[in-house]
Structure 1
């Protein structure tokens, strides 16, 4: 599986989780302990937009911090968030389908980094936060094979920085032969068996 296919599959996971989340549960807690379900949905929606900008080498708009509500969801009824996020997911998928998106450096968060590293990080972001939304709303996420390994690789690449920065909880212990997604979740400080 190539990078673009892996990115596409990770976007599918994120969008499916958002589509399956009832807005009535947006105030519920999520495995991402700092965020409610609705906040994770918005964070994922924003991530889709930021990933598109990185692939296209577009600068972030003035005032974007990446931590606020996704700009395209502001003043939009929560019942419409899934459709808006799905449309953004398609734009992001198209942007990363271009092999050039993975080459060289791209701007992200005020600095430049290798585009392939941004892609890897966002693949992990989409699946892990997609799992957050799914787990909190009674959905199941099936991730195996190359996508699971890509998520694990992406999480492991940023986990030390994430724990140091406080946006990952301490690593959770799982069996060494646990599925790749479970190991990725554990490395990001999540209990793969979390339930609401």
Structure 2
């Protein structure tokens, strides 16, 4: 019963993300970032607010793609990887939303244009083609995420956010290794 409720909640969240205006643009992300100019008390905190917005948007994409993997993947290993992405990025997204709320940072509610394009491109694939494209995207994406989270952990200004980023680097590194292992398994 618990799994059914969890799956239903994730499905509703997925439908909300995907069915919202797919014409949202990078300008939308810029508007949110501009809105956040007053979110944190000092000018040096603006980079932290931008990190929160970008990381939140990335988590939304990871969850949406994980759900897509549940439907489109042919490999059980890819489906398992997608399930892990849903669980882990739902948790990190919730942490980011809590931080954003306590620091008056507006977060995107739909994917930005670039991320929506990534989602749309992957949604056109099925079976083995989806498996290869999804895992290749996850390797690229997690490699970039690790760099961004390390940068925030090292040079961010908000101690709570630096701790969040630092704590999530090993999780992202684990995801990257899982993706690489999955890529090897599906070849």
TM-score by length of 1: 0.32
Structure 1 or 2, whichever has the larger Rg, is 2
TM-score by length of 2: 0.33
